[in-house]
Amino acid sequence: KQEVTQIPAALSVPEGENLVLNCSFTDSAIYNLQWFRQDPGKGLTSLLLIQSSQREQTSGRLNASLDKSSGRSTLYIAASQPGDSATYLCAVRDSNYQLIWGAGTKLIIKP
């Protein structure tokens, strides 16, 4: 059974720092992995989708990597801003086309 883990559960860093969020999964048989952000009381916003054949994807200050063999993905945020404060969730698309979710990392960027 696929399990997705995100560590740490919460992270607080000063504005301007570069940071890395981690996502690990137990079964490498995935179609893709998707990173989302969720603001309090809001829905989920898709940030990046990495196909299983890809190693990384970039969008602006965000860079997501995927190492399928080791069951790991990272989301790198460059030059963090207070507006980046949110909960970040990763989800893998498993062999049954289901999205399997981590519990998220709550990120706080201190001005």
Q: Residues in the site for another protein, rule: CB under 8 A?
A: 4, 31-32, 34, 36, 41-46, 49, 89, 91, 93, 96-99, 101-104
Token pair, residue 38, equals 């969720």
Name 37's bridge partners. 45, 88
- In angstroms, what is the minimal distance from the CB of 79 to another protein? 25
Smaller CB separation from another protein, 43 or 60: 43
Smaller CB separation from another protein, 18 or 45: 45
Would you state the torsion angle of the CA atoms of residues 103, 53, 93, 63, taken in this order, to the nearest 10 degrees?
30
Token pair, residue 34, equals 């998707």
Smaller CB separation from another protein, 12 or 18: 12
